[in-house]
Structure 1
Amino acid sequence: MSNARPNRHRRTRTKAAILLAVPAALTAGVAATVAGVNSASASATVPKPDHVVVVMMENHAYSQIIGSKDAPYINQLAKGGAVLKASYGITHPSQPNYFAVFSGSTQGITGDGCYQVGSMPAPNLASELIAAKQTWASYNESLPKEGSTTCKEGKYAQKHNPWFAFKNVPTSTGKTFAQFPTDFTELPKVSFVVPNLCSDMHDCSIGTGDGWLKKNLDAYASWAKTHNSLLVITYDEDDKHSGNQIPTVLYGQPVKAGSAPTTKYNHYDMLRTLEDLAEVGSHAGKAASASDITGVWN
């Protein structure tokens, strides 16, 4: 048997290493706890409305709408709600922007042609809502009938309705605008309203689109103001002459009246915000690295 004596220097170094490791572990634990608290606090800044209605309008820059005498109703909502002073589309032309705000990706779409119905498996706002046992629908003006996957008919255009492209979204959730509830408590948790090619300002004037919004959505806007609900009016893209800066207005009980944040946001930030407003617990595509819209909530 060896009579060698233990190496005191080695034992001392081992004790020192343990002593150093303990505070390091504690520090890491505290940091993780703080990070968790900060994350929870950040998520707590987004309200939890009962209903969210998003309206997509077409092809106008921020400067053409906000402050314009041709859009009195949108500016009335902006004054009583919030306007994002640095809201941006992703690209041109229209269709990729609709895919971006719905699925966090343009999904390789670069034009305005018709897509293959039910061809895409990617996660999206509707599939996330369904998975979270929340409700979803789109209300599409001039859609021939509920669930119709036609490419174009009259003033209706499929290019503004990306939900039909996804195999994880039932076509039956694509409804006509005539099916928009008059009892707003029957609205889904999140819904999109898509006016036709005239009402969305694509083929017709700013005044025509502004009047359509007032006629068709003012009752909901007034109701949302007292029923923990939210109306979002935004645009797909600008007029191609303004750096793709678009008007985005938020209105309803959760919104701080008169707020006008200058933080830069885009369609991916809007998608992330819609996901978090609805508490779906996930983020599709580039919404995962986007930011919630802040500075507009009560």
Structure 2
Amino acid sequence: MIDLRKVPFVLILLIVLCSCTGVQGVSPTEAEKSKPESQIAKTGSRSVNVNKQAAAAPEHVVIVMEENHSQKKIIGNPSAPYMNSLAKQGAYFTQSYGTDHPSQPNYLVLFSGSNQGIHSDSCGHTLNAPNLASELIKHKYTFAGYSEDLPSIGSKVCTHKQYGRKHSPWVNFTNVPESAHMRFSDFPTDYRKLPTVSFVIPNLDHDMHDGTIQSADNWLKNNLGPYVEWAKSHHSLLILTWDEDDYGSRNHIPTIMVGENIRPGNYDQKITHLNVLRMLEDMYHLPYVGATSKAEPINNVWTNNK
């Protein structure tokens, strides 16, 4: 038996307090209610916990856009060994489709959920609709578009060497800062410095528009291959897709996703650029822009989804 007269008063007090509270516990609901309001981010009609949001979403997403080739021209083609290796390493969507012809409307749909009434590759548009970049920035994330052969950061030039503004939709939007419109030479070699979401736009020789499939495949391997390997162990993601096919009747294109927490395999969910944008919005709990609220979610490619 303990002689309480020999036990310090502070220790006795601690024992009493622990015996009173140790068996009570706090239910998850009560714990959630006790959090400061600053830890809860309200986004549109949805409220999400900031910590859970950060844990669920990739730290970095890089989207690479290729040009004007159908699924059957790429998948299984020996001239594209690296792209086909990515299809085997990651999630390959066998039923992926462009939304429009020609190129520019497809880029606009993927970026803003709408072709914004533009049905051509014409240059010089000024838009202010909500879009992926504006919503990421509004919700304290970061964005950049890296375009090969862009002459200078923020340039609004229509063409320069093999750069075409029609493939860089963010430059048209007044609610996206000019500093987000960057050259591919600005793409960081320290991938930790990448924005939350970024696009990589190869020039017309390296995206298959003017150049060969083999040239585009080599460029992708040499320039994004190191990022892909890094992404697999750094909670990051590569999305490789095409704007449109070669004017086939179905506009059937490849879409491939590779990174940590991606479950490899072939997926037959029918998707378009709208579904890909919807997936990004869901990952970062952003409001839906354009027509993405009506697009089916992509949520079966993650290893934590059973």
Q: TM-score range by the shorter chain?
A: 0.7 to 0.9
Indicate the RMSD between aligned Cα atoms, in angstroms.
1.9
Report the 3-state secondary structure (helix = DSSP H, G, I; strand = E; otherwise coil) of the residue aligned with 1:285.
coil
The equivalent position to 2:81 in structure 1, one of 50, 55, 72, is 72
CA distance in 2, matches of 1:62, 1:217: 21
The separation in 2 between residues aligned to 1:241 and 1:285, in whole angstroms, is 26
CA deviations over 1:204-255 (Å, ceiling 9, x no partner): 1100101100000000000000010000000000011251010101000021
Hey, what does 1:93 align to over in structure 2?
Answer: 102
8 A contact 2:157–2:165 mirrored in 1: yes
Structure 1 gap ranges (5+) = 1-35
Q: Which residue of structure 2 aligns with residue 264 of structure 1?
A: 270
Aligned letter for 1:284?
V
Calculate the TM-score normalised by the size of structure 1: 0.82
Superposed displacement of residue 200, structure 1: 0.3
1:295 shift after superposition:
2.7
> Secondary structure in 2 aligned to 1:137?
strand
Structure 2 residue 241 is the aligned partner of structure 1 residue 234: yes
Selected match of 2:293 from 279, 283, 288: 288
Q: CA deviation at 1:294?
A: 3.0
Structure 1 runs of 4+ with >2 Å offset: none
**Structure 2 equivalent of residue 53 of structure 1:** 62
Aligned residues: 254
Secondary structure in structure 1 of the residue aligned to 2:146: strand
Does the CA contact (< 8 Å) of 1:102 and 1:125 recur in 2? Answer: yes
- Supply the AA of the counterpart residue of 1:293: I
Q: Tell me how far apart the structure 1 counterparts of residues 183 and 284 of structure 2 sit (CA, whole Å).
A: 23
Separation of aligned partners in 2, 1:108 and 1:96: 8
For 2:229 and 2:59, locate their aligned partners in 1 and report how far apart those are by CA, in whole Å. 15
* SS of residue paired to 1:77: helix
The residue identity in structure 2 corresponding to 1:186 is K
Superposition deviation, residue 199 in structure 1: 0.4
Scaled by the length of structure 2, what TM-score is found? 0.80
Partner SS, residue 94 of structure 2: coil
Question: Quick check: 68-77 or 46-55, which moved more?
Answer: 46-55
Q: 1:110-148 deviations in whole A, cap 9, x for unaligned?
A: 1111033xx211000000001101000010000001111
User: Which residue in the other structure is 1:141 paired with?
Assistant: 148
Percent of aligned positions that are identical: 49
Secondary structure at 1:84 match in 2: strand
Distance 1:170 1:206 in 2: 33
Q: Is the 8 A contact 1:155 1:198 kept in 2?
A: yes
Alignment of 1:1-298 (within 5 A): 47-116=56-125, 119-257=126-264, 259-279=265-285, 281-298=286-303
Partner SS state of residue 52, structure 1: strand
Q: State whether residues 59 and 237 of structure 1, in contact with CA within 8 Å, keep that contact through their aligned partners in structure 2.
A: yes
The C-alpha deviation readout for 1:55-80, integer Å capped at 9, x for no partner, is 01000001111111111001111111
Give the structure with the higher percent strand.
2
Distance in 2 between the 1:292 and 1:171 partners? Answer: 31
- 5+ long unaligned stretches in structure 2: 1-44
State how far apart, in whole Å, the 2-side matches of 1:111 and 1:75 are: 31
Contact 2:188/2:194 (8 A) holds in 1: yes
- Quote the Cα distance in structure 2 between the aligned partners of 1:268 and 1:54: 14
For residues 124 and 56 of structure 2, the distance between their equivalents in structure 1, rounded to whole angstroms, comes to: 35
Q: Following the alignment from structure 2 to structure 1, what is the Cα–Cα distance between the partners of residues 103 and 129?
A: 20
Structure 2 Cα separation of the partners of residues 89 and 49 of structure 1: 25
Letter in 2 for 1:56: M
